[in-house]
Amino acid sequence: MTNLRNLTILIFCGLLFSCGTEKKEEALENQAPERLVGTWQLKQRIYTEGSSEPELVMPSDTMIYNKNLTETHFTWIQYDKKNDVLLGTGGGTYNYDGSSYVEHIEFFMPLEAGILGQAINFTADFKDGEWYHTGFIKEIEFDPELAQMVIVDSNKIDEIWQKVEKTADSDNLVGTWKLVELRNAPNEPAFSYPDFVNYLKLITPSHFIWIQYNDEGDQVSGVGSGTYTYNGDNDYREQIQMRYPTGNPTVGGEYIFKIEIGDDGLWNHYCTSVEKNGLSTDSIYVDEKWAKFESI
C-alpha cells in the first residue's frame, strides 16, 4: 500500500513538472525577442479602411514585402518583382517598450494626406517566432470651417511578420548610417547633399536598404534594397533585389565594394564593378562616406 502511494505521488509530481516545463517553454516561445533589430517578411496583411470590406494581402514569390529595423529606425517596402514596380515604402524612427510599438512616420510613398508625422501605435505580440502587429492609421482632412487638419476616420492594420535569419557576420555594420559625402568620379572633389536631403542606409543582420528623401518626407527620390555578404574585413557585396526609380539595369546584380571603417567611425564605401549573369562591368563608380546615426 505504501509503495502504491509513493508511486502515485511520483506520477503526480512528474505531471506537475511536465506541465510546468511546457508552460515555461510556451512562455519563452511567445515572449517578444530581446531586440526587434532585423528584417521581417510579411506573411499576411489585413487592411480595413473605414466601413469598407477588409483588404487581404498575401505576399507571393513575385513580391518583396519587408520591414527592416535597426535600433533607431525602421523602413518597409512593397515591391512587385515581376513588373519592377515599387508599390509603397515608408519609414522613420520607432519606440518599443516590450509590449507597445510606436512608429513615427518621417517619409511615406505613395503620399497620403495625414500619414506624414503620425505616431502610429501598434500592439507587439509574438507567437511561434511570428510578430503580430495591429494598429490604427488616422485619416486626416482639412476642415475649412476650423481652418485646420482634423481626424475624420481611422483605418485598421492587422499584420503577421516572420523574421529573416541572420546571414552575415556584420555586427559592426548593423545600424542606421547617414551619407556624409560622396564623389561621382575619381578626379572630382567630394561633395555633400544639402541639409534638406536625407540619405540613410539601414543595415540589418540579413539585408540592407538605402533611402533618399527630402526633409518634409513628401518626396522619395531613391530606394535600393537587397541582401549582402561581408567577410568581416574589407570585402562587402550587395545583391540588388530592387531599385527605385525602376528600370535600373543593376537589379539582379551584385555590387562589389571595398570598405573601411576608420578611426573616426566613418564607413568608407568604394565600388567600381558590378557582376550580373556571370559578367562584370566597370561602368559603376561609387565612392561614399557614411556616419553611423548614433555618432552624428
Cell (9 digits) for 95: 519606440
Cell (9 digits) for 292: 553611423
pLDDT tens readout for residues 149-173: 445 446 888 999 999 998 877 888 9
Q: What is the pLDDT of residue 136?
A: 82
Give every CB contact of residue 233 below 8 A, 6+ residues apart in sequence. Answer: none
243 against 170, higher pLDDT: 243
Which band of pLDDT confidence, cut at 50, 70 and 90, is reported for residue 293? confident
**pLDDT beyond 60 at 9:** no
Residue with cell 548610417: 177
Q: What is the pLDDT of residue 23?
A: 40
Distance between CA atoms of 207 and 174, rounded to whole angstroms?
A: 9
Q: What is the pLDDT of residue 145?
A: 59
**Whether the Cβ atoms of residue 275 and residue 253 lie closer than 8 Å to each other:** yes
Give every CB contact of residue 86 below 8 A, 6+ residues apart in sequence. Answer: 77, 78, 79, 80, 109, 223, 242, 244, 246
Q: What is the pLDDT of residue 152?
A: 44
pLDDT tens readout for residues 14-45: 443 444 444 434 433 444 556 799 999 999 99
Q: What is the pLDDT of residue 171?
A: 84
Cell (9 digits) for 174: 548593423
Q: What is the pLDDT of residue 47?
A: 83
pLDDT tens readout for residues 114-150: 688 888 899 888 888 899 988 887 665 555 655 554 4
**pLDDT beyond 80 at 259:** yes
Q: Kindly state the average pLDDT of the residues 256-285.
A: 90
Cell (9 digits) for 265: 567611425
pLDDT tens readout for residues 199-211: 999 999 999 999 9
210 against 283, higher pLDDT: 210
Q: Smallest Cα–Cα separation from 76: which of 212, 225, 271, 233?
A: 225
Q: What is the pLDDT of residue 53?
A: 77
Q: What is the pLDDT of residue 290?
A: 97
pLDDT tens readout for residues 43-90: 999 988 766 778 888 888 999 999 999 999 999 999 999 999 999 999
Distance between CA atoms of 270 and 285, rounded to whole angstroms?
A: 8
How many C-alpha atoms does 242 have within 13 Å on its Cβ side? 28
pLDDT tens readout for residues 178-230: 999 999 998 899 999 999 999 999 999 999 999 999 988 789 999 999 999 99
Q: What is the pLDDT of residue 89?
A: 95
The SS3 assignment for 96 reads strand
**Whether the Cβ atoms of residue 183 and residue 189 lie closer than 8 Å to each other:** yes
**pLDDT beyond 50 at 13:** no
Q: What is the pLDDT of residue 168?
A: 74
Distances (CA, A) of 76 to 102, 248, 272, 289, 292: 14, 20, 29, 24, 20
